[in-house]
Amino acid sequence: MTREEKTDWLLQYLKAENAGYAAIPDPVNFTEKRKLLRSLMNVRRPGEASSQYYEVQDSLLTEEAEEKGIVDVRNLSSVAEEFPENELRNPEKIYLWKGDITRLKCDAIVNAANSQLLGCFVPCHGCIDNAIHSAAGIQLRNECARIMAAQGHEEPVGRAKITEGYNLPAKYVIHTVGPVVGTMVLPQQKEELKNCYINSLKLAEKHHLESIAFCCISTGEFHFPNKLAAKIAVENVDKYLTKSGIKQVIFNVFKEEDYRLYTKKFLGTGDF
């Protein structure tokens, strides 16, 4: 099947799952078809699909991942190489990369999850949780649902869980729930954000992983100030790596603002 044929097939499958979707008109162009497919995947409740669904979905997502361009973290330059004047303890283990985290080929990427740990249900939302689940496929939500059912309660802030990566280039996804900030950052929230990084690293080590890529946890929809978040992330990860077997920690940023903040933190410049 062509990419459009795969998209058409998946659309019809997902629409058939819910009688209420019968009224949704079929888009006339591929861009709108693909947007609708992502939307239906985003709102789909946990539940297994047919083997043929997985086959077609996985083929489509794999093709799209290859088109976006897979970035092998082994080919990235470390902070020691990129910023020789850095002030870190472990610059040879720390990396900074700006781009789409779903392109990274590493042992694990870290997802800034919500307390339900089921992914974002808002169609085509711009959060990283939505992007990761959309690129991984519906299997990711299903595994998260099994974990949460066994746990029996929402995921506490600062804790972490691990799942397979499915159609992502990364082998695993580590899900952590960051603090939601209101008008000001409380001391407890600083500690919770620190725990997101430390517990993710501990979980990676428990599973004998060597490379892990962090997004900017809590800085988007959860409103943690970017500058303070970068300080907490870099200082605590750098300290942890002093006695860790993890070989690569990638700070993945998407915005130019965060790239500048991390660079300044590495170099010890700026008011941190």
**pLDDT 10s digits, 156-166:** 999 999 999 99
Enclosing domain of residue 254: 71-267
Q: Let me know whether 10 and 111 are in one domain.
A: no
Q: Let me know whether 51 and 124 are in one domain.
A: no
Q: Let me know whether 152 and 114 are in one domain.
A: yes
**Rounded (10°) CA dihedral 196, 174, 79, 270:** -30
Q: Let me know whether 82 and 64 are in one domain.
A: no
Report field, pTM of the whole predicted structure over 0.95 = yes
**pLDDT 10s digits, 180-230:** 999 899 999 999 999 999 999 999 999 999 999 999 999 988 899 999 999
Domain containing residue 228: CATH number: 3.40.220.10
**Mean pLDDT in the chain?**
97
Residue 30: its pLDDT value, please? 97
Q: Let me know whether 207 and 147 are in one domain.
A: yes
Average pLDDT over residues 9-27: 95
Q: Let me know whether 97 and 59 are in one domain.
A: no
**Which CA distances in Å does 154 have to 115, 159, 174, 189?**
5, 11, 16, 18
3-state secondary structure 58-94: HHHHHHHHHHHCCEEHHHCCEHHHHCCCCCCCCCCCE
Residue 188: its pLDDT value, please? 97
Q: Let me know whether 100 and 60 are in one domain.
A: no
Q: Let me know whether 251 and 131 are in one domain.
A: yes
For residue 213, what are the β-bridge partners? Answer: 109, 250
Number of independent structural domains in the chain: 2
**Which CA distances in Å does 248 have to 50, 104, 114?**
37, 13, 26
Tokens at residue 83, please?
Answer: 């910023």
